[in-house]
Copies of this chain bind each other. A is one copy, B any other.
Amino acid sequence: MKWTTKITKVEPNHLVTRGYRQEDLIGNIPFPHVIYLLLKGGLPSKEHGRMMDAILTACIDHGVTPPSSIASRTVASGGVPLPTAVAAGILSIGDAHGGAIEKGAKFLQDGITCMNKEGKTAEEMAKILVKESKEKHKRILGFGHRVHTSDPRTKRLFSLANELNIAGDHIALSKAMERELEKSAGRKLPINVDGAIAAIISDMGFDWRLGKAFFLLGRVAGLTAHVYEEQTREKPMRKMFTVECEYDGPEERDIP
């Protein structure tokens, strides 16, 4: 019985992560580059490192209303340790919350594979994919947002990707999809921040299976701030919500 790992070698007074001594990484390699190293196995180029840093910051927080913030603050309110409450927020990161990065990246990566095999342009591919999704009534993830019509994070991320020469096929396909969706729906359905990250990490060569990881690694910072704010500013078990409840179950009755 043996555990094989490519992540860290631990010996007395000696810690080596992905080949690098931890004391060399500490304070010399920026933390977001170290995260890149952990996820990808090698240190990033200067450009990839800066993009990684930007993506993490783009995920930090969206106020008190997303499921993750509510879950973290609610659990904190039960009177538990900080990590327990932060973890509760992370549990809510799922197909419907942060999940569009994973699904969007898979969609784009499959799209590009197909596009290259069939020698199509991004525009042609986008047309095919939008048509297909319409016929199969499948929602394409990464477009539209419940709050923002022109998300400042998306613009900033795409402009950085251009500036850093990271923008490639996946971003191109993503933008072609946006145009095609507008034509098909008759209204703008802009790439959202999840969709932007999906396209950028795909152009950076990341496996779509890591999609939720980027969101998680940025959002955990905001969740920690929320839990700390809850624990230091509010009373335990405070009344958090005005929820008007309606019970529509069976009428009151006697047990048989």
Contacts and interface: CB of A to CB of B under 8 A. Distances in A.
Interface of A: 1-10, 12-32, 34-35, 38-39, 41-43, 50-51, 53-54, 56-58, 60-65, 67-68, 70-71, 74-75, 77-88, 90-99, 146-153, 155-157, 160, 207, 209-210, 212-213, 216-218, 220-222, 224-226, 228-229, 231-233, 236-237, 239-256
Contact of A25 (B41, B57, B75): B57
Contacts of A5: 63-64, 226, 229, 245-249
Contacts of A146: 237, 239
A255 B70 contact: no
Contacts of A81: 80-81, 84, 93-94, 212
Nearest to A252: B16
Contact of A26 (B19, B54, B149, B231): B54
A67 B239 CA distance: 9
Contact of A16 (B221, B241, B247): B247
A228 B241 CA distance: 22
Contacts of A34: 57, 60, 221
| Stoichiometry (number of copies) | 4
Contact of A246 (B4, B53, B256): B4
Contacts of A212: 81-83
Contact of A255 (B7, B20, B229): B20
Nearest to A33: B57
A150 B15 CA distance: 12
Given A7-B225, A63-B8, A248-B4, A96 B237 contact: yes
Contacts of A222: 7-8, 38
Contact of A92 (B78, B82, B149): B78
A74 B155 CA distance: 29
A244 B57 contact: no
A86 B216 contact: yes
B251 A19 contact: yes
A63 B38 CA distance: 12
